[in-house]
């Protein structure tokens, strides 16, 4: 007779490895065979998430003279990306990443170029919306796809935790490179150069990433998980809590982009926009590196609540800054608080969601960031037009405080799924037991 014994992940002897008493390092992770073949093209194809919104804001603001119109056009892109990203993730789980990615990058590049042409032609706002929707809907979900590929490449290795941290650091690195590149191109070269470059990077990087089939996760039909394929990851209560949490993080990104653009414009130094946003993103990236290198003893749920409380506190101080140095310092602190929340949220997905639905789960989170960013860009743009320069910074404060309240109230839903294993002639217990 067989019975199932439930164990906590840290108590399962199958997960114990004396050689990995502490978290394995980034160097060991990057020496994984075949990793660079999808990491390098994946980095290029990730740039839309970092460049797209800011490039649209700078271009449309230049052609219309209104932050409200710029924010609305960028928001249309963000909302469509947030709505279509989970569907894209489900298709990737079902049919494979390549089948979704190849047509998607072509649609994105063509739509982005159409949006650029319409903006330069001073087309009405509804026409910009018509081009912005497919541009956002077709943004390739490279981050979730890379995370899913790590799962195939490492296969329950102790390096999985390090990979989760590394991916969050990579995401933050794109937010250092992307805004700086977009601002430099739009201000020094041409207002349309940001969107054109973003489209080119998406197309080239996406096709190269799709060409690397070796680490692509098997489709759900190949693994026999038909039920997983039909069930949405959003049915997991903990995922819904994380979605709200990541909406708040998106409000920080969107509010910072509009607030910084308006602030630097008001002091006659628009070129500082990319620098200040780069400082914010650099704090995000550096804290991510440190967070990923630490072998944490505290439970992920506890770390998320504490880290998010720090984020809400620092984001609530942004609107009080009236100098470049003070704003840079506060932006650095806000950035340092974001990465731990992102890393911990993605780590919790590994505990909450079955393997066959994780690509979709990851896209729900990235989509939530995009939706929060889109809403924040819209509201912040209106506040900048109607109130004072820098009023857009009120949006990150409100967004993070509301998300923190939800997280604290529903934190019990973030308890991970129990792991199960089968042993001979046993009875069910929380801990492994010896039986006759």
DSSP secondary structure of 299-310: -HHHHHHHHHHH
**Which is more confident, 100 or 257?**
100
Q: What is the pLDDT of residue 220?
A: 56
Q: What is the pLDDT of residue 118?
A: 92
Q: What is the pLDDT of residue 238?
A: 78
SS3 155: coil
DSSP string, 360-423: HHHHHHHHHHHHHHHHHHHHHHHHHHHS-TTGGGHHHHHHHHHHHHHHHHTGGGGPPPPEEEEE
Per-residue pLDDT tens for 237-253? 878 888 899 999 988 88
Q: What is the pLDDT of residue 402?
A: 93
Cβ-Cβ contacts under 8 Å for 267 (sequence gap 6 or more): 324
Q: What is the pLDDT of residue 401?
A: 92
Q: What's the chain's length in residues?
A: 436
The pLDDT-based confidence of 224 (bands split at 50, 70, 90) is very low
Distance CA 131, CA 256 (A): 24
**pLDDT exceeds cutoff 80 at 177:** no
Distance CA 335, CA 357 (A): 30
What integer best gives the mean pLDDT of the chain?
Answer: 76
Question: Which of 155-159, 249-253, 328-332 has the weakest average pLDDT?
Answer: 155-159
The answer to whether the CB of 372 falls within 8 A of the CB of 251 is yes
**Which is more confident, 17 or 405?**
405
Q: What is the pLDDT of residue 295?
A: 65
- The mean pLDDT of 222-227, rounded to a whole number, is 45
CATH homologous superfamily of domain 2-15+24-424? Answer: MFS general substrate transporter like domains (1.20.1250.20)
Cβ-Cβ contacts under 8 Å for 426 (sequence gap 6 or more): 2, 3, 5, 433, 435
SS3 125: helix
**Which is more confident, 337 or 19?**
337
**pLDDT exceeds cutoff 80 at 289:** no
Any idea where the domains of the chain sit in the sequence? 2-15+24-424
Per-residue pLDDT tens for 54-100? 888 888 888 888 777 887 888 788 788 878 877 887 787 778 788 88
């Amino acid at each position: 007779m067989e019975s199932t014994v439930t164990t906590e992940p840290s108590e399962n002897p199958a997960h114990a490895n004396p050689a990995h008493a502490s978290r394995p390092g980034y160097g060991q992770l990057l020496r994984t065979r075949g990793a660079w073949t999808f990491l390098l093209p994946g980095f290029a194809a990730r740039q839309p998430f970092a460049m797209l919104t800011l490039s649209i804001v700078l271009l449309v603001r230049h052609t219309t003279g209104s932050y409200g119109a710029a924010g609305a056009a960028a928001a249309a892109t963000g909302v469509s990306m947030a709505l279509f990203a989970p569907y894209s993730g489900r298709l990737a789980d079902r049919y494979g990443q390549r089948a979704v990615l190849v047509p998607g990058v072509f649609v994105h590049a063509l739509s982005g170029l159409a949006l650029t042409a319409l903006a330069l032609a001073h087309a009405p706002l509804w026409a910009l919306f018509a081009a912005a929707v497919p541009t956002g809907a077709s943004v390739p979900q490279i981050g979730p796809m890379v995370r899913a590929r790590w799962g195939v490449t490492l296969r329950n290795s102790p390096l999985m935790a390090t990979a989760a941290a590394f991916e969050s650091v990579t995401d933050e690195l794109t937010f250092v490179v992307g805004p700086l590149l977009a601002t430099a191109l739009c201000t020094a070269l041409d207002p349309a150069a940001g969107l054109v470059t973003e489209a080119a990077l998406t197309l080239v990087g996406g096709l190269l990433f799709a060409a690397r089939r070796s680490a692509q996760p098997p489709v759900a039909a190949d693994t026999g998980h038909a039920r997983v394929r039909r069930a949405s990851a959003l049915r997991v209560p903990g995922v819904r809590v994380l979605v709200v949490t990541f909406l708040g993080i998106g409000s920080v990104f969107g509010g910072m982009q509009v607030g910084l653009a308006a602030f630097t414009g008001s002091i006659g130094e628009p070129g500082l926009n990319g620098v200040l946003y780069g400082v914010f993103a650099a704090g995000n990236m550096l804290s991510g590196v440190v967070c990923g290198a630490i072998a944490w003893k505290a439970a992920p749920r506890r770390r998320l609540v504490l880290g998010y409380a720090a984020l809400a506190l620092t984001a609530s101080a942004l609107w009080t800054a009236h100098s470049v140095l003070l704003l840079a310092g506060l932006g650095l602190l806000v950035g340092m608080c974001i990465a731990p929340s992102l890393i911990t949220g993605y780590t919790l997905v590994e505990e909450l969601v079955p393997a066959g639905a994780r690509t979709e789960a990851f896209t729900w989170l990235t989509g939530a960031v995009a939706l929060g960013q889109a809403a924040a860009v819209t509201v912040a743009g209106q506040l900048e037009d109607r109130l004072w320069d820098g009023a857009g910074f009120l949006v990150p404060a409100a967004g993070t405080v509301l998300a923190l309240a939800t997280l604290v109230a529903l934190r019990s839903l973030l308890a991970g799924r129990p792991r199960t294993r089968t042993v001979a002639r046993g009875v069910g217990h929380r801990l492994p037991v010896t039986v006759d």
